[in-house]
Structure 1
Amino acid sequence: MLKVGLTGGIGSGKSTVSSALAAYGAAVVDADAIAREVVEPGTPGLDAVVAEFGEGVLAPGGGLDRPRLGEVVFADADRLAALNAIVHPLVARRSAELMEEAVAAGVEVVVYDVPLLVENGLGPLYDVVVVVDAPDEVRVERVVRSRGVPREQVWARIRAQADRDARLAAADLVVDNSGTPQELRERVARLWEDLLARA
């Protein structure tokens, strides 16, 4: 079984690539989805976040107010580190469970979709590191257009992540997503062939 670490900065198209690989037959372990799961209402994770950041990070329904929490942590490296110290161990534990399920099911390629792979030095955990890449300006425009996030907030998130050079330096394979959706589909098809050959 081939363990693939898939990463890319906000707006790079990493999730699109991840979905395409799942459609080809990869088992995908999505760190973002798990990060949401471990802080759902009623979880010890959400209790820990509220204990650290206060009731102000809760939405009226009792769930996490992600935009509000984002404003707090992406403007302050210490607060971001405090959040990561709560969430990352919970995500790691759940991810390991999902990996074990994929191994038991006999899947050939397991893709671990993790935004902060480079920042957290996780490259050595995988057989292959794949980076989805696009210029910063392209990524900002995508996020502003698709998610309606204010431009300055997108730049704050980009600055909180590894820079493009650091991410590319960690890559075994790079998927260029600076072009059209069709070009990306063709590149992912070639990537899948490459991953199967390595598996």
Structure 2
Amino acid sequence: MTLVLGLTGGIASGKSTVSRWFGDYGYPIIDADVIARQVVAPGTSGLRQLTALFTPAILTADGALDRKKLGAIVFADRRQLAQLTAITGPLIRQEMTRQLVELKRSAPGLIVLDVPLLFEAHYQQIADLTMVVYVDAPTELQRLMQRDQLNETAAKQRMASQWPLVAKRQLADIVIDNTQSLAATKQQVVKFLTQYDLQK
């Protein structure tokens, strides 16, 4: 039987690191962020829809999506963020569902759905278990500012686009505490794999 794990976290909480570890153990990852880029690549209907809504000002000189420009627009205006999600959300869900069906055919022990908006977009409905990578809000803010070279206002705008990690923590089946060392975080991942007999 294949276990489908819905993995989420906050911006800069360490979710991508945990996701990479699952990949290192040989388990397939369906990454919503990767798919989100694919559905708005040059030549896609997704990019055409975004350009029609936000004007060609969101494009780079070679016709690709300028994610920084788009981010500056949508993270400062919830209405425009909702319009963006209304376009990209269904495209992402369609591709994630397709990949999940395909991967299940080979019956791996575990498939990881790596989804930043797991609960917000109701992806927990297609997962057997949910896992959140948790840090406290001040740590998350500090890490995000440092990682993306953002000022405090811009970082808080991005954090506000997702549910607080405290809320996600309450909903998750498994909480990975990433407030200490990476080694301590990895030990929690290993414990999960051992508990569900997924160690390779």
TM-score clears 0.5:
yes
- Tell me what 1:117 maps to: 118
Conserved 8 A contact 1:131-1:171: yes
What's the CA shift for 1:22?
A: 1.2
Q: Any idea what SS the aligned residue of 2:197 has? A: helix
After superposition, the C-alpha distances for 1:83-122 in whole angstroms (9 at most, x for unaligned) are: 0011011111111121122111221101100001121233
- Tell me what 1:32 maps to: 33
Q: How does 1:167-182 map to 2 (within 5 A)?
A: 167-182=168-183
Conserved 8 A contact 2:134-2:178: yes
Conserved 8 A contact 2:46-2:91: yes
Aligned residue pairs, count: 197
More deviation, 35-44/146-155: 146-155
Aligned equivalents of 1:195 and 1:114: distance in 2?
A: 21
TM-score, with structure 1 as normaliser:
0.94
After superposition, the C-alpha distances for 1:27-59 in whole angstroms (9 at most, x for unaligned) are: 110001100011011111100110111111111
Aligned equivalents of 2:40 and 2:176: distance in 1?
A: 31
- Tell me what 1:7 maps to: 8
Structure 1: gaps of 5 or more residues: none
Aligned equivalents of 2:173 and 2:126: distance in 1?
A: 13
What's the CA shift for 1:75?
A: 1.3
What's the CA shift for 1:21?
A: 0.8
Conserved 8 A contact 2:6-2:115: yes
- Tell me what 2:151 maps to: 150
Q: Any idea what SS the aligned residue of 1:112 has? A: strand
What's the CA shift for 1:146?
A: 2.3
- Tell me what 2:97 maps to: 96
After superposition, the C-alpha distances for 1:107-151 in whole angstroms (9 at most, x for unaligned) are: 110110000112123323211000000011111222222232333
Give the aligned CA root-mean-square deviation in angstroms. Answer: 1.3
- Tell me what 2:54 maps to: 53
**Identity across matched positions, percent:** 36
More deviation, 43-52/145-154: 145-154
Aligned equivalents of 1:62 and 1:97: distance in 2?
A: 27
TM-score, with structure 2 as normaliser:
0.93
Hey, which bits of structure 1, 4+ residues long, moved more than 6 A?
A: none
Paired AA for residue 49 in structure 2: A
